[in-house]
Amino acid sequence: MASARGEFGSRFGFIMAAAGSAVGLGNIWGFPTQAASNGGAAFLLVYLVLAFCLAYPVLMAELIIGRHAHSNAVSALQKIAPGARSRRLGTTTGVVGFITASFILSFYAVIAGWMMAHCLAAAANLLGAPDIAAWLVNMGTTRNILFMALFMGLTVGIINGGVHDGIERWSSRLMPVLLVTMVLLVVYVLTLDGAMEGLKVYLLPDFSAAISPQLIVKALGAAFFSLSLGVGTMLVYGSYVSDKENLPVLGGLVTLIDIGIAVLAGFLVLPAMYVAQHSGVEIFNSAGALISEDTLIFTVLPALFDTMGIAGVVVSFAFFALMSIAALTSSISMLEVPVAYTIESQGWTRHRAVLLIGFAIGVMSLIILLNFDTLFGLVVSVTTRYSQPLLGFMYCLFCGWLWHRDSILQELKNGAPDVESGFFWKIWPGYIRYVCPAVIMIIFLQAIFG
């Protein structure tokens, strides 16, 4: 049954796909500046601890449920639910999950479109077409719609290829390119004037800044978004993993790669910002904090590239290619969530599911683009601040309280016969039962009232 619905062909393929989902825009445009503004190396340490103590256990919950059920999130939660009421709860969680995933994709495609436009603009400059380049970096409606559609088209094209020929093939190709590009950019940027100052700001530890409760709450939210948790993405990817694989190890590797790339991005972004400052570019906002997110990517860094002559055009191309790749391997994981559901629960063919759902999400992106000021922030905050933590809470409930512990152990033993005597099984069941749901609730309440 598992292979009829598709399965990752190799361990490497799964790790690249899941890490590809996890490594996205959040790692590069949010994490480095957040770290630098909040205690440097001390923040890295806090983030590392949080990611392993709280996000990793939830990732494991999704992977175990998915691999056990070998099905989409809705059917999987129904399958492990012990009674009629918990089945209904499972259905609701799965459905809210795929709706959330679709909405996250609808705003993600907008931003990813901008990345691709900037990448092509650098190419146009290299080819001696500055007018086209100028149009490509200008925030016009036509450009925005065109590139959002182009990005959705790529996402749809890859997901149309299925698990093995689409997700696995493209993740295995693109993730190594991403890593190599990033390392080359880091090495280059570190040779420029001002870079060392950025490195100091990034790495000098300040524990007083890093352990404020508010910051921990924020870091945890970031870790959840970064590991793509709650909406069923990792559950669906887990459902394509062979029974022979050792899940705690695979999940641990994915978490490590995600954090590793976020940390590595800091070695690129912070030095680049201080190089920019060295060339007279403003890198602090009016409140005195380091500029981050979209302004960092589309204003500060391009201003830096502009000062670097022809090298700047090449670096700009490489940087925006890197961002586009990071976005694409994440967006395919979002689209797979509703696609897997409609294929398995509604009996649609993959082709039909991908086209119709991709089109519907494209229309949502279009509506967001045409009402940007009212809708963009709203969709981001409803999906990532409210829906994701609540859904993560539900996964803890299912794994910690509703699904029988012996069945979980049985599932893990398929690929890890000694798991019962190991470290993971000593810690994880208690974590997913008590610690994770309690902490997620605190984050959620903080997000609403804080």
Q: Does 228 bind ligand TRP (CB under 6 A)?
A: yes
Q: For 193, phi and psi rounded to 5 degrees?
A: -65, 135
In this chain, which stretch among 122-130, 133-141, 223-231, 404-412 interacts with ligand TRP, using CB under 6 A?
A: 223-231
- Nearest approach, Cβ of residue 306 and ligand TRP (Å): 27
Residue from 377, 383, 397 nearest 440 by CA:
397
In this chain, which stretch among 125-133, 168-176, 329-337, 422-430 interacts with ligand TRP, using CB under 6 A?
A: 329-337
* Binding test (CB under 6 A) with ligand TRP, winner from 18, 104, 152, 265: 104
Task: Round to whole Å and give the CA distance between 424 and 57.
Answer: 10
Pick the closer one to ligand TRP by CB: 125 or 365: 365
Letter for the amino acid at 229?
A: L
* Binding test (CB under 6 A) with ligand TRP, winner from 13, 26, 194, 266: 26
What lies within 8 Å, CB to CB, of 308 at 6+ separation is: 315
Task: Round to whole Å and give the CA distance between 116 and 25.
Answer: 13
Joined tokens for residue 211: 């352990």
Beta-carbon-side half-sphere exposure of residue 293 (alpha carbons within 13 Å):
4
* Binding test (CB under 6 A) with ligand TRP, winner from 44, 250, 263, 334: 334
- Nearest approach, Cβ of residue 64 and ligand TRP (Å): 18
Pick the closer one to ligand TRP by CB: 326 or 366: 326
The burial of 442, by beta-carbon neighbours within 10 Å (0-12 exposed, 13-18 middle, 19 or more buried), is given as middle
Q: Does 387 bind ligand TRP (CB under 6 A)?
A: no
- Nearest approach, Cβ of residue 362 and ligand TRP (Å): 17
Site pattern 6..25 for ligand TRP (x: CB under 6 A): ---------------xx-xx
DSSP string spanning 257-315? HHHHHHHHHHHHHHHHHHHHHHTT---B-TTSSBP-HHHIIIIIHHHHHHHTHHHHHHH
Joined tokens for residue 375: 């809708």
Which residues between 146 and 175 bind ligand TRP (CB under 6 A)?
none
- Nearest approach, Cβ of residue 229 and ligand TRP (Å): 7
Q: Does 297 bind ligand TRP (CB under 6 A)?
A: no
How far, in Å, are 87, 274, 408, 413 from residue 421 at the CA level?
Answer: 32, 49, 14, 11
* Binding test (CB under 6 A) with ligand TRP, winner from 120, 167, 231, 263: 231
Query: Cα–chain-centroid distance for residue 57?
Result: 17
Please measure the distance between the N-terminal and C-terminal CA atoms of the chain and give it in whole angstroms: 47
Joined tokens for residue 326: 């990071």
In this chain, which stretch among 46-54, 160-168, 225-233, 314-322 interacts with ligand TRP, using CB under 6 A?
A: 225-233
Q: Does 178 bind ligand TRP (CB under 6 A)?
A: no
Pick the closer one to ligand TRP by CB: 89 or 259: 259
Pick the closer one to ligand TRP by CB: 119 or 334: 334
The footprint of ligand TRP (CB under 6 A) covers 21-22, 24-27, 101, 104, 225-226, 228, 231, 233, 330, 333-334
